[in-house]
Chain A
Amino acid sequence: MNADELKTALEAEGAKVTYDQKRKVFDVFVQDPSRIKQVARKMLELGLDHVVSVTGVDYPDRIEVIWHASSYSVDSLEGLVVALRTPISKGPPRQAYDPRTRTYGPARPPLPVDSLTDVWPSALFLEREAHEMFGIEFRGHPDLRPILLSDDFYGKWPLRKDFTYDKSELKVA
């Protein structure tokens, strides 16, 4: 299996596939978030057996979730990192800081998308990180707790572009 065969196989699943060899970007775009599990299963079948990174990208109108998968077992795929990408629409924007009540308004709820931990167990901690940083709720994840940050920042989703915080709220002891 080489990159072109992989491309045709994934295009048959209804994904939009682009491959830029120079920048090492193999992009599998799935417009409908409910279909990612199916595409991921196909990718696992084809030999992409582990996840390198799970992350989001915050655009003005949507958040894109990206699973970067790669292979240890199929020789010809080992040089590839395949990005499985899907957009989820964003909730309402966060309110501005209100100095009177010293809050930012209610915490924004996380945005739901299917978890791929049952396809790739290596995504276990990576999805937890993406949940905490971007506020993506991975449905079906066995253990979706914050991992890197303390509870002070939970619900503020730091890596979104509209992240703000108030240092006076934080205390050591």
Chain B
Amino acid sequence: MSERVYNIEEAPNIDVSGDRYIMLQIGPSHPGSGHMRIKVWLDGDIVVKVDPDIGFVHRTSEWLSERREFIKAIPIVERIMLPDTIHANLSYITTLERLLGLEAPPRAQYLRTLAAEINRITSHLYGIGIFGIFLGSSTVYMWAFGDREPFIDLMEMLTGARITYSYIIPGGVRWDMPKGFKERAEKVLEYMEKRLKDYDDIWVKNPVVQSRCVNVGVIDKTNAIRLGVVGPNLRASGVYYDTRKHDPYAAYQNVDFEVPTFKNGDAYDRLLIRVEEIKQSMKIIKQVLKDMPEGKIIDEGTYKQLNPVMKKVYDERARVMFPAFYNHMRPQPGEATGRVEAGRGEIFFYLRSDGGKYPYRFRWVTPSFRNLPFFTHVAVGYRLADLPAIYGSVDYFPPEADR
């Protein structure tokens, strides 16, 4: 087990220009770094300074969205957060609905919650699988990616797409729950519960994993707050904060769930919290399936504007066809903000409209980008051999950070 050599507070003040320190570049052509380059300054094999060189996947989503109609930003924000698309979609629509003054009916809110929680499980399984690769365990990668597929199948049944759903629209959702979905979801949850026990045996309680993760990459509560860490990484440091509880959206005020927190804030806690959150998500899915209210899946105002053919399609198949007026939305001048708890943390949206067809300012910040200052601090003082475990435990997804 490693111990931290340098202090987080003093490390940024070390001058790394001398002969004593060497600089190592990791990535971007490297299975461990993903789409980023990590510059690491080493004293022997101890990490003194970390400088992430990001932006390799900066696709200018803000610039593009300011040049598109409001509705056309949905696919763009989805592509940025590929393992977690529904949350990108949901956060944008939540903000846009605030700007437009719309509110989705209860059934649509429940369907959103359902889709979001299924997606959270796939996102966490993705993170666990990639963490497995970082620690050299292909088994866990194979297991996690294999077990992700039943959930992706569920989403495919619900929305018709494998990963990029574009399911949530202003005022509601596009499809109702298909027949047989509930039974299938229950089957998948039952399977996953069994599998989580296997994960415990082979991965979570594995002494090798514990020896590589316990007390590695520690960040305490004060520093976590100071550096603005988000999501599971924040809760692993003992901060009780979850946007689903503190700034509720969709149907989260109606469901009962816990926000798991841990104390140490090391890599192992960051692994445990993802497993715990999968359990909580399954709990939410069960409740949502049980309490799903009857009713429309789109708000009354939008339904009235559908033309007769679209109304017929809606009444017969519970499917909302995209009417042309979506393309001509012109929100009142003003601004709105919105926050959503995605798999990796909190997404923040800020929209400003000047009354025109396009957003005047389209701003969004993704959880991975907000975890960057934390990542530069957390690896300092540990050995280079610990860097994969630390980086993997952060669950950093570079395209999401670069936007």
Chain A residues packing against B (C-beta within 8 Å): 22-25, 49-53, 55, 57-58, 66, 68, 72-73, 78-79, 81, 83, 120-126, 129, 133, 142, 146-150, 158-159, 163
Chain B residues 236 to 251 lying within 8 A of chain A, measured CB to CB, are 239, 241, 246-247
From B53-61, B117-125, B135-143, B186-194, the one touching the partner chain is B53-61
Report the separation of the CA atoms of residues A150 and B53 in the bound assembly, to the nearest whole angstrom: 11
Contacts of A150 in B (CB 8 A): 55
Contacts of A73 in B (CB 8 A): 225, 239
Contacts of A49 in B (CB 8 A): 225-226
Report the separation of the CA atoms of residues A60 and B46 in the bound assembly, to the nearest whole angstrom: 50
Report the separation of the CA atoms of residues A20 and B361 in the bound assembly, to the nearest whole angstrom: 18
A33 to chain B, nearest CB (A): 19
Most chain B beta-carbon contacts within 10 A, residue among A58, A126, A142, A146? A126
Report the separation of the CA atoms of residues A147 and B403 in the bound assembly, to the nearest whole angstrom: 12
Given contacts A24-B336, A55-B350, whether A148 and B58 have CB atoms under 8 Å apart is yes
Lowest 8 A-B CB distances belong to which pairs?
A: A122-B228, A50-B228, A148-B55, A78-B246, A23-B336, A148-B58, A53-B365, A79-B247
Report the separation of the CA atoms of residues A23 and B99 in the bound assembly, to the nearest whole angstrom: 6
Contacts of A57 in B (CB 8 A): 352, 360-361
- Decide yes or no whether B335 CB sits under 8 A from chain A: yes
Most chain A beta-carbon contacts within 10 A, residue among B54, B337, B352? B337
Contacts of A159 in B (CB 8 A): 62-63, 66
Report the separation of the CA atoms of residues A126 and B98 in the bound assembly, to the nearest whole angstrom: 25
Given contacts A23-B98, A23-B99, A68-B350, whether A149 and B225 have CB atoms under 8 Å apart is no
- Decide yes or no whether B311 CB sits under 8 A from chain A: no
- Decide yes or no whether B75 CB sits under 8 A from chain A: no
Given contacts A148-B402, A158-B63, whether A81 and B98 have CB atoms under 8 Å apart is no
- Decide yes or no whether B348 CB sits under 8 A from chain A: yes
Check B352–A68 contact: CB distance below 8 A.
no
A-B contact pairs, 6 of them (CB 8 A): A22-B101, A49-B225, A50-B228, A52-B339, A52-B348, A68-B337
What's the dominant secondary structure at chain B's contact region? mixed
Contacts of B361 in A (CB 8 A): 55, 57-58
B interface residues, how many (CB within 8 angstroms): 40
Chain B residues 329 to 365 lying within 8 A of chain A, measured CB to CB, are 334-339, 346, 348, 350, 352, 360-361, 363, 365
Check A53–B55 contact: CB distance below 8 A.
no
A155 to chain B, nearest CB (A): 16
Most chain A beta-carbon contacts within 10 A, residue among B12, B335, B346? B335
- Decide yes or no whether B296 CB sits under 8 A from chain A: no
Contacts of A146 in B (CB 8 A): 55
Report the separation of the CA atoms of residues A110 and B363 in the bound assembly, to the nearest whole angstrom: 20
Contacts of A126 in B (CB 8 A): 365, 369-370
A84 to chain B, nearest CB (A): 13
Report the separation of the CA atoms of residues A159 and B62 in the bound assembly, to the nearest whole angstrom: 8
Contacts of B363 in A (CB 8 A): 53, 55
- Residues 316-336 of chain B, each 1 if its beta carbon lies under 8 Å from chain A, else 0: 000000000000000000111
